[in-house]
Structure 1
Amino acid sequence: MTDQATDTLRAAEHERERMRQEIIDDLDEEIELELQEDGLDGSISESENAFRREYFRELVRLQTELVKLQDWVQATGQRIVVLFEGRDAAGKGGVIKRITQRLNPRICRVAALPAPTDREKTQWYFQRYVAHLPAAGEIVLFDRSWYNRAGVEHVMGFCTDEEYEEFFRSVPEFERMLVRSGIKLVKYWFSITDDEQEARFRARMEDRLKQWKLSPMDLESRRRWEAYTKAKETMLEKSSIEEAPWWVVQAVDKKRARLNCINHLLSLVPYKPVPRPEVVLPPRVYHSDYERQPTPDAMIVPEIY
């Protein structure tokens, strides 16, 4: 083998190693997320460790399928809306984070609306949500949705009884209209137990990185657990329609809930792999008169790690 061939082989091996490290770095981000959430102190049983390995394998596999779904949605001009509802600390944000983690934010975006403004309160109730619906080739994940009226607004007294009843008269027709327009509408309720919510709240109280997640409204929801339960039961009964039924995710186990929800979402959409054109990296253009200018030391971020 000539020296040139050897150098070429070494360069190719070096490039493959760089790509491998890039993939590992991406996976490490997910692992760091899980370690942070679990609060592991280094003591983990072999059975727990085995499940974690299986969880990561399945999550990456499902995220690969989500990329295929994204490509299909973009190529075919589909429009998908997924609603995530559930009690505070039920795990909605966790599954949304795993769904979007590998996807293009220009295609799959999250809508998490704040409390309505004074002006929005005078509008048609669904108006501010309509503005976030997808165009062709887009997926929108609602982290809480128009079902705020059926839950927190009703329980906390932020709407009148007349507005509450009108919501249930309107929402089936509103959602049928969305479906008739060509939108695929999927609705998930994340279900946890009383004890599990209390445990997650107490964990947040102890974790400085998560204390911001606890709002006065969250704390009040603990006191009104039974009222929220009744509101949830009424919501599922009155707004689960054939065109857009409710799906309940058993969410006491966060990791299993994420896998089950993503797997179920994929099963509801008849996506197919979209052929991708071969990507050819063009050669870099060199100019003999180009001279790279040094970066001033004052602009360099200190390398303390």
Structure 2
Amino acid sequence: MFESAELEHRVDKASFDEQAPLLRADLLDAQYDVLQAKRFPVIILVNGVDGAGKGETVNLLNAWMDPRNIDTHAFPPPSDEERERPPVWRFWRALPPKGRVGIMFGNWYTEPIQGRVNGTMKASELDQRLEEIVRFEKMLTDEGALLIKFWFHLSRNDQKKRLKLLSKDPKTRWRVTDQDWWRYEHYDEYRQVSEHTLRHTSTGNAPWVVVDGFDERYRSLAVGRIVLQAVQKRLARPDGNLRIAAAPFQRPVPGENLLTSLDMSQKLAKKKYENELELWQGKLNTLCRDERFANRSLIIVFEGNDAAGKGGTIRRITSALDARQYQIVPIAAPTEEERAQPYLWRFWRQVPRHGRVSIFDRSWYGRVLVERVEGFCGEADWMRAYAEINDFEDQLVRDGAVVVKFWMAISKDEQYRRFKEREDTRFKRFKITDEDWRNREKWDAYEQAVCDMVDRTSTEIAPWTLVPANDKNFARIQVLRTLCERLENALKEKPVKKTPAKAAKKK
């Protein structure tokens, strides 16, 4: 894959001086067109061989464009905090919003490639990470991002010349480390793993661009032109073309469904409820203080009909926990900042560290519920969201999280009774709005969306629990019991142990 990048392309100084000013002006214009339109972010990945000009290219882009509207990130080895989350967590936090340019140096490709060469990652683990990356990048581009991936290449001989040249100059000597020379000695292994990586991750929506890093002037013009052409092409394309064709959605045969089949008559007497509440709250508190929980996290998701008792149930959970151990994440309509990012961005930011609990009052399932029913996104968008959500939860679970999801279900008649009670009770009036009554008119559409959601996202690692909630006592105990059982079973399992990436051996 690197043959063309080993031809030692050159551009003479006169040609560069003639072409660079115009290219620089065009790039700046394109950057401001992106900023003004705010239709998509531009994400530029910088990867490649040591000494091939990666750092110089990052500096060049910041010099040729307005650095005030560029988010530049250089990622060192993961910190302890970052290692307690899935690998992509720190990259989600660094994504640029629509209208801005993000340059990511040392990005999601660095650790897998280095880990495979250093021997800390098996071939099967590398392929698994690459598959995750492909899905991650597809989601970014499906959400509208322009993703430009550069691989800067040098032949083995050219890399040696470059490292020696940098080492001789007192102004650049500091840039060449023992690790650079170690990687040079293992050039062939790096090349093999890199070719494998590029081959498996160069896709139609996010292809790799391999750049010859031998000549600085050639490299600069090549990168500038590629970025300019990609941005201009994207600006010229209507947003409507971003929509992806979806296969026809198969509607179920009318009749009984997952929700209508629930036994809503189940109740729990007050005395038994109080005894069970004490039992399960104590059990939950003990489990969250178990030393094994230090390598786990607990993520609790609450969805349900309006007035189904989510808030009251959450209070019964938090009453059993140390306030320093949990956070409640209430989810409302996305803010302007959140709308400028992929829809999962605001949830990735709330992923807890090990030993912590995050409780989501509504969640990422809004994409396949509210946004679907209200028409805030197209069918293609919410159809692909099922797989994206399953992938999200899979990464959480493999990182040590216990994901427990509840749908709090009440009957239509019970909802009407609770709505009227809220209107007639002074300290409950804030709980009822015109929006609640409007949503009630779409009961059947929401019911169908919920059934589709459960069918497509209730997995062996993160199953849904449907809770009949006409009786609040019964619902709260079922939730607490389910939480304790799921957490207790998870603590019996051996969590995936993360080992810090080994540093490259020194020569």
The equivalent residue for 2:279 is: 61
Q: Percent identity?
A: 37
> For each residue in 1:113-168, what CA deviation from the matched residue of structure 2 results, as whole angstroms up to 9, or x when unmatched?
23211221121211101111110110111111000111112112222223212212
1-structure distance, mates of 2:316, 2:462? 23
Judge conservation of contact 1:74–1:107 (CA < 8 Å) in 2: no
Aligned with 2:445: secondary structure? helix
RMSD: 1.9
Amino acid at match of 2:459: I
The equivalent residue for 2:442 is: 224
Judge conservation of contact 1:74–1:138 (CA < 8 Å) in 2: no
> Aligned pair 1:129/2:343, yes or no?
no
Gaps of 5+ in 1: 1-47, 273-305
In 2 relative to 1, CA 211–242 (structure 1 residues): closer, same or farther, beyond 3 Å?
same
1-structure distance, mates of 2:292, 2:429? 38
Aligned with 2:478: secondary structure? helix
Deviation at 1:265, TM superposition (A): 1.1
The equivalent residue for 1:266 is: 484
2-structure distance, mates of 1:246, 1:74? 24
Once the two structures are superposed, the pairs formed by residues 35-46 of structure 1 within 5 Å of their partners are: none
Choose which of 128, 147, 150 in structure 1 pairs with 2:368: 150
2-structure distance, mates of 1:57, 1:270? 20
1-structure distance, mates of 2:415, 2:329? 24
Judge conservation of contact 2:287–2:293 (CA < 8 Å) in 1: no
Deviation at 1:74, TM superposition (A): 7.7
1-structure distance, mates of 2:293, 2:374? 43
Aligned residues: 224
Choose which of 374, 378, 382 in structure 2 pairs with 1:160: 378
The one of the two structures with greater contact order (alpha-carbon pairs below 8 A, sep at least 6) is 1
Deviation at 1:54, TM superposition (A): 2.2
> For each residue in 1:78-99, what CA deviation from the matched residue of structure 2 results, as whole angstroms up to 9, or x when unmatched?
2110111111111111111101
Judge conservation of contact 1:186–1:245 (CA < 8 Å) in 2: yes
The equivalent residue for 1:24 is: none
Deviation at 1:270, TM superposition (A): 2.0
Once the two structures are superposed, the pairs formed by residues 231-242 of structure 1 within 5 Å of their partners are: 231-242=449-460
Deviation at 1:76, TM superposition (A): 2.6
Judge conservation of contact 1:111–1:141 (CA < 8 Å) in 2: yes
Aligned with 2:270: secondary structure? helix
Once the two structures are superposed, the pairs formed by residues 28-177 of structure 1 within 5 Å of their partners are: 51-72=269-290, 76-177=294-395
Judge conservation of contact 2:284–2:483 (CA < 8 Å) in 1: no
The equivalent residue for 2:402 is: 184
In 2 relative to 1, CA 100–74 (structure 1 residues): closer, same or farther, beyond 3 Å?
farther
TM-score in terms of structure 1 length: 0.69
Amino acid at match of 1:231: A
Greater Cα shift, 157-166 or 81-90: 157-166
2-structure distance, mates of 1:240, 1:75? 24
Aligned with 2:299: secondary structure? strand
Following TM superposition, where does structure 1 have runs of at least 4 consecutive aligned residues deviating by more than 4 angstroms?
A: none
2-structure distance, mates of 1:55, 1:174? 35
Deviation at 1:71, TM superposition (A): 0.8
> Aligned pair 1:214/2:395, yes or no?
no
In 2 relative to 1, CA 75–177 (structure 1 residues): closer, same or farther, beyond 3 Å?
closer
Gaps of 5+ in 2: 1-266, 492-507
In 2 relative to 1, CA 85–79 (structure 1 residues): closer, same or farther, beyond 3 Å?
same
> For each residue in 1:249-285, what CA deviation from the matched residue of structure 2 results, as whole angstroms up to 9, or x when unmatched?
111111111011101110112278xxxxxxxxxxxxx
Judge conservation of contact 2:293–2:354 (CA < 8 Å) in 1: no
2-structure distance, mates of 1:69, 1:130? 25
2-structure distance, mates of 1:269, 1:72? 11
2-structure distance, mates of 1:180, 1:136? 13
Deviation at 1:225, TM superposition (A): 0.6
The equivalent residue for 2:74 is: none
1-structure distance, mates of 2:434, 2:370? 13
Aligned with 1:116: secondary structure? coil
> For each residue in 1:201-251, what CA deviation from the matched residue of structure 2 results, as whole angstroms up to 9, or x when unmatched?
111111111110112221111111111111111111111112111111111
Q: Which has the larger radius of gyration?
A: 2
1-structure distance, mates of 2:360, 2:316? 14
Deviation at 1:73, TM superposition (A): 6.2
Deviation at 1:75, TM superposition (A): 5.6
2-structure distance, mates of 1:122, 1:169? 22
2-structure distance, mates of 1:215, 1:113? 16
